[in-house]
Amino acid sequence: MGCSPYNSTNPSAFANRNATFLNLRNQLAGSNTTRIETAQHGRSISLYGMAQCKSDCLACFDIAVIRIRNCSTANGARIIFDGCFLRYESNFFFDQTTAQGNIAICGTKNVTDENGFGITAKTLLANLVTATPRIQGYFAAVKEKITSSGNASVYAVAQCAHTVSESGCRDCLSVAYQNMEICIPVSDGRATDAGCFLRYSATAFFGDNQTTNITPFFKKGNSSNKKTIIIGCTAGGVGFLLLLGIFFIFLLRSKKAKQSDKGDTLGATELRGPVSFAYRDLEKATGDFSQENKLGEGGFGGVYKGVLKNGKIVAVKKLTIGQSTRAKADFASEVKLISNVHHRYVVRLLGCCSKGPELVLVYEYMANSSLDRFIFGEKRGTLNWKQRFNIIVGMARGLAYLHEEFHVCIIHRDIKSSNILLDDDFQPKIADFGLARFQPGNQSHLSTGFAGTLGYTSPEYALHGQLSEKVDTYSYGVVVLEIISGRKSNDLKLEPATQYLLERAWTLYEDDKLMNLVDESLNPEEYDANEVKKSIEIALQCTQSSVASRPAMSEVVVMLLSKGQLKVRPTRPTFIDATNRVRGDTSTSTASSASNATASTTQVSGR
């Protein structure tokens, strides 16, 4: 149970609290147990309440009411039991999705098959985060069998308050998933926030006849060419089981919390925009932006390693853009939008500083730097196939989120191996949004001047300026070929000498010799040749000339994780003449405004 640190000053609020609880109890007595009920009582002094339960509903609710009264005169409180939860507040909170106090609670038991359980749990939870916001009632319970562990399965549930929006639900669950990742592969974990909760377990906590078929909800809109994400879920509907035996401190959002936080990013409210840092604090964190702390030089400025006063390690980027009123306005608006992008495979923008000699961005720090160093740089050959495949899947999931799951379609425009960062576990993070564009929902593509890296971009964009999310799909396919082959996209040392990587891959595909493309540093005993071959074929599908023939990134995820061979044969693309391509990892940018630089980050050297 958590009580607000702020007390109510009006005694009538507690009379309203009692009436609100009674109203909630009456609703729960005859409600669908998957629904979160809300109630309000009072006019001049209102009190708002929210409750839900599964088993022994009224008994659990009555106990919750008794316990929550221990908060005495607090103007807000929340209590969570095994079978129910209850929350009240003097301020309207029904539309709140994520707020201070969002946490994860991990179990203490380990599982036997940590690898199989971990992969299955992460996949299942990621699928829930995608599907649940599209389900009426914002609730889903799913079960997935662990293929490597006999009859063992992973069980998971996700739910949002029915009073929030679809995008709010998605954002809340994304934050919950990020928080709960630390639990996996422990046998159970839970994450709670103001507007949602997420739970997984190795033990069944709902019946097999109560699972939800989330397959239809991986389609975006009614587009007939979107394939369904297939996961092992059985049909049905279910009541939900809330969090098991947790106790945490709930800090009620107050007027003081609405002010800009400085320095401490750990308690930042997720959807209020980026934290505002003081320039002097960032100077101190980076040793006055010293050369010894410099991580690299990106397209829009240098990146430095910094240690905040709360001990958190961050990457700090100084932007070499104008200081005009227009530049700062564009900087502020786009930074606020990008800071709300929450996904495990996208680098997190933590905050910014616009009140100093330079505009500065603050990102989460990636200890392993960028992918290119491990594919064809100084650490070439250190990644095994399993790590490479996880990177391939993670990139696809991150792009699927940007294209289809965020509330606007974000086109990155510069997907390449140096813009994929790796965390401590070699999980990928898409970075450097300096050239990103937002595609209006009613347009199939944008017409714009070219900005990106030749050799990674698609023909229709490089030659005609036609920009759609399929430009990123094409670039993704090229990066996948780099990951598998260990060669740069513009490597002209391939045989014959006139060929570069993509053309070489297509030649081998047509000659049925795809395995000749595989990096020689990979141990053949450590990978499944069929899995490698299918990954190459998926990359080739992504690089087809026809925009319509390229799969959506959500479809790519499905193909990568599904069993069996691909049924669609890709068609050979139109190649851009290698002599017209830019040598090396060089970006050609037409952008110079702050809006093009807002989310740009590179945490590596040797660009």
Q: Point out the residues that are catalytic.
A: 414
Burial class (CB in 10 A: 0-12, 13-18, 19+), 75: buried
Residue 366 CB partners (closer than 8 Å, separation 6+): 315, 347, 421, 422, 423, 429, 431, 603
CA distance 514 to 530: 10
Distances (CA, A) of 187 to 115, 207, 541, 557: 12, 18, 38, 25
Distances (CA, A) of 77 to 5, 68, 254: 9, 7, 13
Tokens 């879920």 belong to 233
The residues pairing with 195 across neighbouring beta strands, listed in sequence order, are none
Give SS3 for 430. strand
Residues in the chain: 607
CA distance 112 to 102: 29
The C-alpha atoms of residue 216 and residue 62 are separated, in whole angstroms, by 38
520 burial level (CB within 10 Å; 0-12, 13-18, 19+): exposed
Place of tokens 């006055």: 288
Computed on alpha carbons and rounded to an integer, the radius of gyration of the chain in Å comes to 25
Instruction: Let me know: does 69 contact 49? Beta carbons within 8 Å.
Output: no
Q: How far apart are CA 46 and CA 122, in angstroms?
A: 41
Is residue 413 within 8 Å of residue 472, measured between CB atoms?
yes
